[in-house]
């Protein structure tokens, strides 16, 4: 029987709208051979949990390899078969579900330089052959994640939820067309994300991300936005046991509704990071650029790009995939009644990679 999380009481849920991009750039409206979920959480402080669904929109069986990575670089791998037209689903915290036997989400790790949280992270899943020896093309995978809180005592409504689509990367065949089902995509253990037409690579990543948002502490009609959060992963992903840290600088430009721009906000980030876009985040420079007190309009937008910078030692340019969450109060309420979310929208193209440990002696080269 398929497991469905039961949320007692009222909650406010908004589905993420699709993100569109160029044909050879990853987005959240297409199917692909690689899926990346930027926001997975099982934080006990708010009773947080995540429900994952991955579907195979084809009539034959495919083998899927998945990896959790938390913000401390703890990781866990698992794999499963997904039969034709089937959906695998599971609850990340309790492991309840069907179609897959997921690993327990890791909550520890050794990377503490950026003050990450072991209860938050990401999920990467991609098609492989039956022996876990090669990544393969299977452009029929799509997925969603539902993030929910069951006991957020700081909110007016302690039970809340949001749902978003995974970012999907199509495996490209010769000339840039969709690759043939089951074809091996390049060197085992190295998924190249460049949107090329060699027949061995996957979609590229967005060069930069943009998103509309309501500034912190702004009100419009019956909606007050309390704060904003960005969950973001880079396209420089090292899933291997002997991994290399990939750092980047998240550099922001914010515009209010009057088209006035505000610069100077930035934060150092690893390949997965949740960033509070508010003055409670001590690691974010110029956090008030996201506040109504500075922007003075109830609607705004921002651009974020992963760049190399001496301010983040060892950092490199990195494409990003993100989700923006807004905590909102309704009517005259002063505490959060719900969370609304949207994927960031991608623009331009930048190459990236996913490294993993295939079940053979081939070891992918370290990328920088």
- Retrieve residue 11's tokens: 């909650």
Confidence (pLDDT) at 365: 56
Q: Give 286-318 as a DSSP string.
A: SGGGGBHHHH-SS-EEEEEEEE--TTSTTB--B
**Residue 263 class from Cβ within 10 Å (0-12 exposed, 13-18 middle, 19+ buried)?**
exposed
Q: Given pLDDT bands bounded at 50, 70 and 90, which one contains residue 25?
A: very high
**pLDDT confidence band for 363 (50 / 70 / 90):** low
Residues 150-172 pLDDT 10s: 999 989 999 999 999 999 999 99
Q: Which domains does the chain have, with CATH numbers?
A: 34-196 (2.60.290.11), 208-347 (2.60.290.11)
Contact indicator for 291, 215 with CB cutoff of 8 Å:
yes
Tens digit of each residue's pLDDT (9 = 90 or more) over 229-247: 999 999 999 999 999 999 9
For residues 116 and 119, what is the distance between their CA atoms, to the nearest angstrom? 9
d(CA 310, CA 305): 15
Contact 160, 152 (CB under 8 A): yes
pLDDT at 3 over 90: no
Is 204 exposed, middle or buried, given 0-12, 13-18 or 19+ CB atoms closer than 10 A? buried
Q: Over the stretch 28-65, which tens digit does the pLDDT of each residue have?
A: 999 999 999 999 999 998 899 999 999 999 999 999 99
If you average pLDDT over residues 168-192, what whole number do you get? 97
What are the residues whose beta carbons fall under 8 Å from the beta carbon of 28, sequence distance 6 or more?
A: 16, 18, 19, 164, 165, 166, 167, 168, 343
DSSP, collapsed to helix, strand or coil, labels residue 126 as strand
Residue 5 pLDDT:
42
> For residue range 281-320, what is the model confidence (pLDDT) as tens digits?
999 999 999 999 999 999 999 999 999 999 999 999 999 9
Q: Which residues contact 84 (CB under 8 A, 6 or more apart)?
A: 56, 58, 59, 60, 61
Whether the CB-CB separation of 185 and 135 falls below 8 Å is answered with yes
Overall pTM surpassing 0.75 (yes/no): yes
């Amino acid at each position: 029987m398929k497991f469905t999380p039961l949320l007692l009481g009222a909650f406010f849920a908004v589905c993420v709208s699709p993100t569109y991009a160029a044909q050879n750039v990853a987005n959240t409206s297409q199917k692909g051979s690689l899926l990346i979920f930027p926001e997975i959480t099982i934080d006990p402080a708010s009773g947080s949990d995540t429900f994952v669904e991955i579907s195979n929109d084809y009539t034959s069986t495919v083998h899927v390899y998945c990896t959790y990575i938390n913000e401390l670089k703890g990781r866990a791998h698992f794999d499963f078969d997904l039969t034709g037209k089937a959906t695998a689903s599971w609850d990340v915290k309790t492991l309840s579900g069907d179609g897959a036997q997921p690993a327990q989400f890791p909550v520890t790790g050794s990377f503490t330089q950026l003050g990450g949280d072991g209860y938050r992270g990401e999920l990467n899943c991609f098609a492989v052959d039956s022996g876990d020896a090669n990544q393969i093309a299977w452009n029929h995978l799509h997925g969603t994640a539902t993030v929910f809180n069951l006991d957020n005592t700081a909110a007016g409504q302690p039970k809340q939820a949001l749902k978003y689509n995974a970012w999907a990367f199509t495996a490209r065949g010769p000339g840039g067309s969709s690759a043939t089902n089951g074809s091996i995509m390049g060197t085992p253990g190295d998924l190249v994300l460049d949107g090329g037409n060699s027949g061995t690579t996957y979609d590229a990543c967005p060069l930069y991300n943009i998103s509309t948002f309501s500034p912190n502490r702004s009100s419009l009609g019956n909606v007050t936005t309390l704060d904003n959060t960005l969950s973001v992963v880079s396209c420089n992903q090292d899933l291997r046991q002997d991994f290399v840290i990939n750092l980047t600088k998240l550099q922001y430009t914010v515009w209010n509704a009057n088209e006035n721009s505000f610069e100077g906000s930035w934060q150092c980030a690893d390949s997965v990071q949740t960033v509070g876009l508010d003055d409670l985040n001590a690691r974010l420079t110029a956090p008030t650029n996201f506040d109504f007190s500075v922007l003075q309009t109830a609607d705004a937008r921002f651009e974020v790009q992963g760049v190399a910078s001496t301010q983040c030692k060892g950092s490199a340019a990195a494409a990003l995939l993100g989700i923006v969450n807004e905590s909102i109060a309704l009517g005259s309420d002063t505490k959060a009644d719900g969370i609304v979310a949207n994927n960031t929208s991608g623009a331009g193209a930048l190459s990236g990679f996913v490294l993993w440990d295939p079940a053979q002696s081939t070891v992918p080269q370290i990328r920088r």
